[in-house]
């Protein structure tokens, strides 16, 4: 039932503010994962991939995204 609802609903474009907020949250999460003593390699890779896509959507260069992440 939930699946049908999600399928029949058109995709909503995200606002620039929503994308920026998500980008900033991803930066924070990536920094937290890097600082953690435990090994979270898969999570770091997934968060960094999301960070790159969001940065790309915002028109940021690869260098800027890398700088923001670190």
**8 belongs to a structural domain:** no
Spatial CB neighbours of 14, under 8 Å, sequence gap ≥ 6: 22
Q: How many domains does the chain have?
A: 1
Spatial CB neighbours of 70, under 8 Å, sequence gap ≥ 6: 31, 34
pLDDT at 15: 86
Spatial CB neighbours of 63, under 8 Å, sequence gap ≥ 6: none
**39 belongs to a structural domain:** yes
**42 belongs to a structural domain:** yes
**22 belongs to a structural domain:** yes
Q: Which domain holds residue 20?
A: 15-69
**1 belongs to a structural domain:** no
Confidence of residue 1 (pLDDT cuts 50, 70, 90): very low
| Model confidence, pTM | 0.75
Spatial CB neighbours of 44, under 8 Å, sequence gap ≥ 6: 30, 33, 34
């Amino acid at each position: 039932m939930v699946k049908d609802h999600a399928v029949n609903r058109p995709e909503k474009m995200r606002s620039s503010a929503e994308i920026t907020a998500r980008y900033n949250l991803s930066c924070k999460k990536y920094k937290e994962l890097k600082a953690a003593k435990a090994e979270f390699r898969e999570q770091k890779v997934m968060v960094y991939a999301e960070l790159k896509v969001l940065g790309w959507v915002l028109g940021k260069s690869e260098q800027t995204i890398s700088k923001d992440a670190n």
